[in-house]
Structure 1
Amino acid sequence: MHSAFRTPEGVTLGVEHFGDEAAPLVLLAGGTTMLSWPDALCLALAHGGRHVVRYDLRDSGASATVDPDAPAYTLRDLAADAAALARGLDDRPAHLAGIGVGGMVAQVAALDHPDAFSALTLAGTRPVAPGPVDDDLPDHDAATMRRAFAVPLPDWSDRAAVAQSAAIRAEILGDDPAAARATAERVYDRTPGPQPAVQMANQLGMVFAKLDCTPRWRERLPELAVPTLVVHGRRDPFFPLGNGEALAREIPGARLLVLDRAATSIPDTAADEVAAAMLTL
């Protein structure tokens, strides 16, 4: 079931519900759209007795789109959105999960709003913001990035061209190109306009390159006092595995689940394994 949620600050967030709304809440922050979380995983969590809600970050999907070229909000505002959703959807603390850049949102949300969350899952992400990486963390694989950035940007008004571009990039990154094509088509259909900045915020998450993500939060990770699962693809060239290992090492008691055959996304074949691990938190 799709719906809209309006935060106390007046921001509209697009959400989708799975499972029994009276069950404990698992809140899935998009990276940037909710479709970063595969249907198979959402259904597996719902079948495990959870109320699953995945949502679009600002400037993506059915959430508020204003100006992705110059976002007036910050990473802290996105974290506050997550907390507002958790509090508005259930009077109990929620299990918060974030994937990719959504994982950055989830880390800050859990640190800044600890009363709103009972557990944390961080998938395919890292403990620092977009941009220069800390010396002890592996950066994007340079050869892979050269190949990915060499792919011409598509005509953003052409749905087929956008989907084909996504499939090509997915193959370069080690993800399933057929699945990426299908997801890109769904993302395209939910995107509010063909403007390049809007499309890139939805398809590539490029709005994060312009977002204020200060101050740093990595040094605060030892403050986290909720059960935490870190999920990472062994073949991830964008945020290589060392980033997930650092998160698991620096968050007290965190468990690391490495998906041997995964790269940047969670494949459907791993949905049951990931869901089972999340349901133990």
Structure 2
Amino acid sequence: MTNNLSNGERLSRINGVELGVETFGNPAHPAILLIDGAAASMLWWEAGLCARIAAAGRFVIRYDNRDTGRSTSYPPGHPGYSMTDLAEDAVGVLDALGIERAHVVGRSMGGGMAVIVGVDHPDRVASLTFVSASAGIGALPPSEEPVGETPAGPDLTELAALVDYSVAAAKAESGGSPHFDEAAIRALIKQDVERARNFASTLVNHFAMEFTSPVRGGYRDIGVPTLVVHGDRDPLVPLSHGEALSAEIPGAELLVLPGVGHAVLPEPVWDVFVPALAGHTAGDRR
């Protein structure tokens, strides 16, 4: 019988750093590794969503990238790692859990980590899913003007200011989505700020690191089934980026989520996303 509740959060020593890791479901089921993007801890893969995916017969893994949540933190503005290091952490999470092969899901900047894992470690990846991601290929439109205003910068010493800033940023990145739930986002962000080792580092360090690429090829060299998921209201990475990404990867499928902004999977679309992900990941067991 599938256990769709959290199997517990732990700190694991991986690649010389500590990473917060949490799993959901039965370890005997196919594994899905969730990689989030810039400044996003594992909490942004909501526990309810992880439990829903686990209930579909998957072993779900979410974790904190460096400089988010309970994972190792570096001084603000001085990250001691590159994109490749973060991708190697994803592989290290699989090693720590004894998983040989997983379905890898990368969201936003996490898509850059996912492609490194998929191309440089093809034996560890059963499928890839990109959410709100871009390959940066071709003549693509820039980010659109956000809906609403984001403060110039928070007072890093004030919890309320950090929360207000992050809520305003999330609202802008929603692209005016009808699914944006400010009360739920505020509660999530408050938990995120309180849980982080150093939220000042969370806000800046992923943007200050070296952005590296796979060493064994690029998106065209992905050799596993690939699903591209994109919201049609994404103001930071407009839908045409997702369309170009799916066209670049051999055999990739595109799932467009109406009314969805950047790097979120709001609960009203879980009934679409979860069956699509379950179907996409049905063909391989670890």
Matches of residues 96-115 of structure 1 in structure 2 within 5 Å?
96-115=104-123
After superposition, what is the alpha-carbon deviation per residue over 1:107-127, rounded to whole angstroms, capped at 9, x for unaligned?
111111111110111111111
Distance 1:56 1:227, change over 3 A: same
Describe the SS at the equivalent of 2:92.
helix
Contact kept? 2:134, 2:242, Cα under 8 Å: yes
Alignment partner, residue 191 of structure 1: 196
Alignment partner, residue 251 of structure 2: 253
Given the alignment, which residue of 62, 66, 69 partners 1:61? 69
Alignment partner, residue 153 of structure 2: 153
Alignment partner, residue 30 of structure 2: 24
Deviation at 1:269, TM superposition (A): 1.0
Contact kept? 2:115, 2:218, Cα under 8 Å: no
Matches of residues 231-242 of structure 1 in structure 2 within 5 Å?
231-242=229-240
Alignment partner, residue 222 of structure 1: 220
Contact kept? 1:59, 1:67, Cα under 8 Å: no
Pairs aligned (count)? 265
Q: Specify the code of the residue in structure 2 equivalent to 1:58.
A: R
Deviation at 1:210, TM superposition (A): 1.2
Tell which deviates more after alignment, 217-226 or 119-128.
Answer: 217-226
Describe the SS at the equivalent of 2:218.
helix
* Alpha-carbon separation, structure 2, partners of 1:136 and 1:275: 32
* Alpha-carbon separation, structure 2, partners of 1:216 and 1:3: 29
Alignment partner, residue 10 of structure 2: 3
After superposition, what is the alpha-carbon deviation per residue over 1:62-88, rounded to whole angstroms, capped at 9, x for unaligned?
111123411121111111111121233
Describe the SS at the equivalent of 1:258.
strand
Aligned CA-pair RMSD: 2.1
Alignment partner, residue 280 of structure 1: 279
Q: Specify the code of the residue in structure 1 equivalent to 2:13.
A: R
Matches of residues 58-207 of structure 1 in structure 2 within 5 Å?
58-128=66-136, 136-141=139-144, 143-144=145-146, 148-149=149-150, 151-173=151-173, 174=175, 176=180, 177-193=182-198, 196=200, 198=201, 201=202, 204=203, 206-207=204-205
Q: Specify the code of the residue in structure 2 equivalent to 1:191.
A: A
Deviation at 1:218, TM superposition (A): 11
Q: Which structure shows the higher helix fraction?
A: 1
Q: Specify the code of the residue in structure 2 equivalent to 1:14.
A: G
Q: Specify the code of the residue in structure 1 equivalent to 2:274.
A: A
* Alpha-carbon separation, structure 2, partners of 1:136 and 1:178: 38
* Alpha-carbon separation, structure 1, partners of 2:225 and 2:279: 9
Identity of aligned residues (%): 36
* Alpha-carbon separation, structure 2, partners of 1:257 and 1:250: 15
Distance 1:160 1:57, change over 3 A: same
Contact kept? 1:232, 1:259, Cα under 8 Å: yes
* Alpha-carbon separation, structure 2, partners of 1:193 and 1:167: 18
* Alpha-carbon separation, structure 2, partners of 1:218 and 1:116: 15
Alignment partner, residue 213 of structure 1: 211
Distance 1:135 1:225, change over 3 A: closer
Contact kept? 2:29, 2:59, Cα under 8 Å: yes
Q: Which runs of 5+ in 1 are unaligned?
A: 129-133
Describe the SS at the equivalent of 2:146.
helix
Distance 1:227 1:216, change over 3 A: closer
Q: Specify the code of the residue in structure 2 equivalent to 1:156.
A: L
Q: Which runs of 5+ in 2 are unaligned?
A: 1-7, 281-286
Alignment partner, residue 4 of structure 2: none
Alignment partner, residue 131 of structure 1: none
